[in-house]
Structure 1
Amino acid sequence: MEDRPSWLPKDVDLEKASAARCYDYYLGGAHNFAVDRELAQQVVAKVPQIKALAQDNRAFLRRAVRYCVSQGIRQFLDIGSGIPTVGNVHEIAQEADPEARVVYVDNEPVAVAHSRSILDGNERADVVQGDLADVAGVLASSPVERLLNFDEPIAVMMVALFHFVPDSAQPKRIVQQYSERMAPGSYLGFSHLTQDDFPEAGRNLIDLYANSSNPGTLRSRAEVTGLLSDFELVDPGVVHIPEWRPDSPEDRWEQPERSLGYAALGYKV
């Protein structure tokens, strides 16, 4: 096991890979450890497009945030936000309007520690260490209560998150619990991995992540659509990630299905 950095929270297990830290590796970040790199390199060998997939998820997040800002949204809750990288929600939203408020939520201590460092001095952005399924705890946290008002329209982002939520955790009910608290006019940004088009690649991902801190569950387009049934879907609906409102033709992959995932933005009527 590698030497433990002095800044690392004591509850971080350096003997088990973390999906958030592997994701950081795919994006070219430096907040990952030997155990994460070992798993990530195995994934790259089996699923070579994984780095492009991670980058495209971030690009979808940015496009969804910009769309929400264009619709008048000025408060954001980004759940499963991961380790900070270029193009975070607060950067995009506050570039459009410095008064925009953002709260990040993650259960990964490394992600939370680095988020706190980046957000130091930004009075309109904060981070919560919490679990997606603890809806009451997340929404009652002091950063959420200080910065966000659920009586007004809000954008909740759940990007590249729910494929780490097993069926046994009742993912549909989790989405509903957040939806019930969101005011009409709110949005839900959502992306999810699938094995619809490339079953072998999907099986490889499931197998490789099985012994990590975050085993996965891939879902079909119909299942992803079902998770979002409380919302009206913004055009073009549930589509492969590169096909959701690309900024330019170059952003749309030649084979969008190779992104192994779906993206959508839901609107609460």
Structure 2
Amino acid sequence: MVSGARQAAWEFFGTELKRRREEAGFTQAELGSRVFVSGGYIGQFEQAIRKPQLDAARRIDGTLQTDGFFERTWRKLIDDRRYAGYFAEVVELERTATKISAFAPTLVPGLLQTAPYTRAVMLAGNPFISDDYVEEKTAARRERARILDGTGRPVYWAILHEHVLRIPVGTAQAMAEQLDHIVRLVGQRRVLAQVLPYSVGAYPLMGRMVQLMEFADAPPTAYTEAVYSGNLLDDPALVKRVQDTYDLLRAAALAPEASLALIESAAEDHRRCGSTT
């Protein structure tokens, strides 16, 4: 959840947006048409229900002639040091998404990770980092995952390549527990998981992760990640292409029941491997 101080800061953003919009003589609908979002979306900015993307903040500045005020404020508020700079905006969007669809080619998606799995990923990327740093990042990832709790959670659909199930991350026991965690989330109907098996061979988005996010009153966005960088896409044509590609992945993946059976089988394989070492 957003801390009280951060929420208060976003409420300030919204109050200033409303004040300056009214001073300029725009209705929410009129400002929205100039910023390329709906009037209802502007209203949610003003109530601090939803956070704008950077491009929207820039367009607001241009329309209201506020000399970069909203962009500067946005940059200050979105600067969450617990996350990489290119990813902090994605975390904000996840909190208001109504549906999240993820494709993971090699690693368990962050929202589904257990703490031991996250620690192993962190240490693999930098074996010299401090324990405090590892724990801070692990706690941040667990906090992100809280969006899957409660009645207001988004629909979460994950497609995992079979690599994700087979590559041992951390100890064999930790890997088994990670897969058990996914099985448990599926059983609780908090997520839907499918597996793209090795037998599919070549597949769309070879080796590339992608996450699609849909919202109640805003256009969908897509996020892709590369080496120490990420791209948040909101161009409707590009997002539509990503959605079409995700549909191809979903069609090629195993059915949910068969996927669950494969995840359970992989967990047992890791458990057996751990018991023989």
TM-score scaled by length of structure 2: 0.27
More helix by percentage: 2
Instruction: State which structure, 1 or 2, has the greater radius of gyration over its C-alpha atoms.
Output: 2
